C-alpha cells in the first residue's frame, strides 16, 4: 500500500502552512511537558503533598504520553490523520481547561492525564504527516519538526518560571487551551483520507501499555510491583505477537536489523540529549547557584541554535541522506559532552556555549533517524513504525533521568575520568558528561557497523544510475 497519491493533494503553499501549524501546536505540547517542572514546588505547597505524590504530575503525563504516541501511530495506519488530530487536540485542550480550575490534586492529576491522552497525537502524527503527504520533502520537514521539539524543550522551563512567578501555576494551562484554534485550519489543510481496512489488536495494545507503565513506574518510583507487572505483561505481549494473525506490532518489522538498529541508535542519542537537559539544571544550581529563570537562560541559546540548525539540517538530510548527518550529529554530541566535562566550573556564559554545541545535535539525530525509518518500513506500517520510534524516545528520557538522578547521589566523588578536567571540585558532573561521550561513541559505532554494507549498496546503485 502506498500513500504517495495523497501527497499530490497538497500544493506547496498548503505544505508550508501545514508545517507551520504543526510546529505551533507541537510547541504547545512539548512546552506542556517541560514547563510544569518548575511549578512542582508550588503545586506541592498548595495541595500539601509529599514529593512522591506531586511527582505524578510529571510521571503520569509521561506515562500516558509515551503509550499514546505508539497507540496513535498504529491507529494512523487505519484511520484518517485529520480525525485523530481533531480528537487529540480536543482532549488536550479539555484537560487544560479542567486543570486551569482544578480545586484539588485529584482533579489536577486527572486533567494532566486527559491532556496526555490527547497531546500524544501531536508528536506521533507530526512525524507521520511528512512521510505520508510530503514524501519529497520529508527530510526537510522532519528537520523543522525536530528543531521545534528541541526549541520548545528549552523554552518550556523559561515560560514556566516567568508565568508561574508572575501569576499562578494554573495559568500555564491557558497556552494548551489555545491549541483549539488550530483545529479548523488542520481540517482545511490536511487531505481527506479513506478509512483503511485493518485490525487493531486491542489485547496486544493493552499488554504493551502495561509493559511500558510498569517499566516507567519502576524507573521513576523503584516500584517492584511495577517491574513485576511490566515483565509479566511484556511476556504476554511476546506471546500475543507470535500467535495472533495481526499483532499490534508486526514481528517482521522488528526482525529488520536496519530498523531495529536505527531505533536503538535513536534511543541512545536521545538518552544523551535528555541526560544533558536533566543534568544541566542540577549542575547550574549546585555549581553556579542559579535560579530557575537563570537556568532556563543557560539552556536557551542551545535551544535557539537547535531550532535554527534543525531546519537547515533537514535540507541536508534530503540532499545527502540520513547516514552522514546522523554520524555528524553524534560527533557533535561527543564534542559538546567533552567540552562540558572538561570545563565544568567556568563562568556560566562560557558554559552556555559548550551546552550549545551538544544541543544542536538533538534535531539532527531526530530528523535523520525519522527519515531513515520511513524508508525502512512498508508504507502501510509507517504509523506504527514512527509510533514505536516516539515511544522509545520517550522511554529514553525517563530512563536517562532516573539513571543520572541515581548517579548524582554520588556527589562526594573527587576522581576525574576526564584527564583534561580543570577541577575535581565538581567531578560528578564532569564524569557524567564523560559517560555521555562513551554512550554516543558506542551508539554511532554500532550504527556504522550494521549499516556498512547497506551504505555501500546504495552508493553502488547511485553510481550505476
Higher per-residue confidence, 203 vs 195: 203
Domains and CATH numbers, the chain: 4-200+248-464 (1.20.1250.20)
Spatial distance between the Cα atoms of 270 and 290, rounded to a whole number of angstroms: 26
Tell me which of 130-134, 177-181, 244-248, 315-319 is least confident: 315-319
Q: DSSP string spanning 334-377? A: HHHHHHHHHHTTS-HHHHHHHHHHHHTHHHHHHHHHHHHHHHHS
Mean pLDDT of 256-283: 85
Q: DSSP string spanning 92-126? A: HHHHHHHHHT--SHHHHHHHHHHHHHHHTHHHHHH
**What does the pLDDT read at residue 369?**
86
Mean pLDDT of 366-377: 82
Q: C-alpha grid cell for residue 66?
A: 509515551
Confidence of residue 427 (pLDDT cuts 50, 70, 90): confident
Is the pLDDT at 3 greater than 60? The verdict is no
State pLDDT tens for residues 216-235. 778 766 778 888 998 999 99
Entry pTM: 0.75
Tell me, rounded to whole angstroms, the distance of Cα 64 from its chain centroid.
Answer: 14
Mean pLDDT of 153-159: 74
Is the pLDDT at 412 greater than 80? The verdict is no
Mean pLDDT of 364-389: 80
CA–CA distance from 386 to each of 43, 77, 249 (Å)? 34, 11, 12
Beta carbons within 8 Å of 289's beta carbon, 6+ residues apart: none
Higher per-residue confidence, 108 vs 2: 108
Higher per-residue confidence, 463 vs 440: 440
Q: What is the mean pLDDT of the chain?
A: 81
Spatial distance between the Cα atoms of 158 and 155, rounded to a whole number of angstroms: 5
Cα atoms in the 13 Å half-sphere on the side-chain side of 229? 15
Spatial distance between the Cα atoms of 384 and 391, rounded to a whole number of angstroms: 10
Cα atoms in the 13 Å half-sphere on the side-chain side of 271? 24
Higher per-residue confidence, 406 vs 457: 406
State pLDDT tens for residues 85-98. 999 999 999 999 99
Is the pLDDT at 287 greater than 80? The verdict is yes
Amino acid at each position: 500500500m502506498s500513500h504517495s497519491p495523497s501527497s499530490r493533494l497538497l500544493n506547496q503553499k498548503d505544505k508550508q502552512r501545514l508545517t507551520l501549524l504543526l510546529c505551533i501546536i507541537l510547541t504547545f505540547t512539548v512546552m506542556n511537558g517541560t514547563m510544569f517542572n518548575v511549578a512542582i514546588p508550588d503545586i506541592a505547597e498548595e495541595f500539601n503533598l509529599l514529593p512522591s505524590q506531586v511527582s505524578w504530575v510529571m510521571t503520569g503525563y509521561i506515562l500516558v504520553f509515551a503509550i499514546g504516541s505508539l497507540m496513535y501511530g498504529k491507529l494512523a495506519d487505519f484511520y484518517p490523520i485529520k480525525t485523530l488530530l481533531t480528537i487529540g487536540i480536543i482532549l488536550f485542550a479539555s484537560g487544560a481547561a479542567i486543570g486551569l480550575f482544578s480545586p484539588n490534586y485529584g482533579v489536577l492529576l486527572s486533567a494532566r492525564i486527559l491532556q496526555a491522552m490527547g497531546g500524544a497525537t501531536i508528536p506521533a502524527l507530526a512525524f507521520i504527516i511528512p512521510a505520508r503527504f510530503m514524501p519529497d520533502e520529508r527530510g526537510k520537514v522532519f528537520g523543522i519538526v525536530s528543531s521545534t521539539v528541541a526549541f520548545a524543550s528549552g523554552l518550556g522551563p523559561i515560560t514556566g518560571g516567568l508565568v508561574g512567578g508572575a501569576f499562578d501555576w494554573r495559568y500555564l494551562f491557558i497556552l494548551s487551551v489555545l491549541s483549539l484554534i488550530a483545529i479548523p485550519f488542520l481540517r482545511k489543510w490536511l487531505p481527506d483520507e479513506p478509512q483503511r481496512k485493518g485490525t487493531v489488536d486491542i489485547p496486544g495494545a493493552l499488554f504493551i501499555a502495561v509493559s511500558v507503565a510498569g517499566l516507567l513506574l519502576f524507573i521513576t518510583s523503584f516500584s517492584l510491583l511495577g517491574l513485576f507487572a511490566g515483565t509479566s505483561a511484556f511476556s504476554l505481549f511476546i506471546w500475543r505477537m507470535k500467535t495472533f494473525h495481526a499483532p499490534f506490532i508486526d514481528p517482521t518489522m522488528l526482525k529488520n536489523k536496519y530498523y531495529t538498529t536505527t531505533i536503538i541508535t535513536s534511543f541512545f542519542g536521545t538518552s544523551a540529549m535528555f541526560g544533558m537537559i536533566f543534568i544541566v539544571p542540577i549542575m547550574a544550581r549546585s555549581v553556579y547557584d542559579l535560579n530557575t529563570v537563570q537556568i532556563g537562560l543557560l539552556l536557551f541559546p542551545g535551544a535557539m541554535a537547535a531550532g535554527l540548525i534543525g531546519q537547515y539540517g533537514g535540507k541536508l538530510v534530503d540532499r545527502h541522506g540520513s547516514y552522514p548527518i546522523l554520524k555528524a550529529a553524534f560527533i557533535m554530541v561527543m564534542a559538546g559532552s567533552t567540552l562540558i566535562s572538561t570545563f565544568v566550573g567556568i563562568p556560566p556564559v562560557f558554559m552556555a556555549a559548550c551546552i550549545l554545541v551538544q544541543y544542536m545535535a538533538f534535531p539532527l539525530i531526530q530528523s535523520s533517524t525519522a527519515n531513515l525509518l520511513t524508508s525502512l518500513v512498508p508504507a502501510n506500517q509507517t504509523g506504527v513504525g514512527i509510533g514505536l520510534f516516539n515511544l522509545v524516545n520517550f522511554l529514553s528520557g525517563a530512563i536517562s533521568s532516573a539513571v543520572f538522578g541515581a548517579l548524582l547521589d554520588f556527589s562526594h566523588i573527587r576522581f576525574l575520568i576526564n584527564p583534561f578536567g580543570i577541577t575535581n571540585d565538581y567531578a560528578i558532573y564532569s564524569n557524567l558528561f564523560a559517560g555521555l561521550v562513551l554512550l554516543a561513541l558506542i551508539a554511532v559505532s554500532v550504527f556504522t557497523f550494521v549499516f556498512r554494507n547497506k551504505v555501500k549498496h546504495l552508493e553502488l546503485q547511485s553510481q550505476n544510475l
